Amino acid sequence: MDRKETDVYLRLDPARLPRHIAIIMDGNGRWARRRHMPRVAGHRAGVAAVRSTVETAARIGIPALTLYAFSEENWKKRPRTEVDFLMRLLCHFLKAEIKTLNQNNIRLKYIGRQHELPKSVQREMEEASTATSQNTGMLLTLALNYSARSEIVDAFRSLADAASRNGGLAHMEVDEQSISDHLYTRGLPDPDLVIRTSGEMRLSNFLLWQLAYAEIYVTQTLWPDFRGVQLLEGIEDYQKRDRRYGGLAPDGNATKHPRRVSSEAKR
């Protein structure tokens, strides 16, 4: 870690780190536009932010990190040229980062409707996942062609399919646990902290079921400018929260540390 990261890290309580952090990586287009560059330049610059964030999270012992890389809406609504560039960038990233992932003992997996992605991209995804499958450190999950609503639809389809093979729909039992067991993220703890870059105040159809009790941290920093120090600042803010899951604080009053936007938003 560099000096700035170390300064923030020393203010953290290692015993209260989030088990799972989810990040909505936003602002690539605005970053490029402010520099009078094409949108794809912002996507390319965002790779450095991914690398720094992933490495910092792994170094400090975060068990799970999920990055919202490519939404189902991106796939359907962005220009074909931009989508094609993103697919090539993803393939390049997966090839280039396997060595670094292994050096940091990071295991890679994916969520989303992967079968809809180009076959060449699916092959690169499979190769990278296999190459890191024996690692035992942080689990890095990339949300690709992901939609939370589609995930919930797919979970109910899976529940119905399982019931049809086990005596029919009359035997289908639906509760929170059974739904969670059929989500893409089954086996992962729900995120404790969700970070959104670029100052936008919405979840954008990301992990809607899993983020029910997550703490939300919003920073004005655009994704290409986001680094490990900003991740640590988000964790520092998270550790000031009083997480009550719908209950009362020990003294019966509201939390002493209300949820807030990062200080950058106040400038």
- Give CA angle at 46 (189, 113), nearest 5°: 50
Q: Is 2 a residue of the active site? A: no
Residue 252 region by backbone torsions, left for phi larger than 0, else alpha for psi between -120 and 50, else beta: left
Return d(Cα 250, Cα 64) in angstroms, integer: 29
Choose, from 7, 13, 26, 242, the residue flagged as catalytic: 26
Return d(Cα 168, Cα 117) in angstroms, integer: 32
Task: Name residues whose C-beta falls within 8 Å of residue 6's C-beta, 6 or more positions apart in sequence.
Answer: none
Q: Do 12 and 236 meet the contact criterion of CB atoms below 8 Å apart?
A: yes
Distances (CA, A) of 191 to 41, 207, 213, 244: 30, 9, 8, 15
Q: Is 26 a residue of the active site? A: yes
Choose, from 74, 102, 181, 205, the residue flagged as catalytic: 74
Instruction: Supply the residues annotated as catalytic.
Output: 26, 74
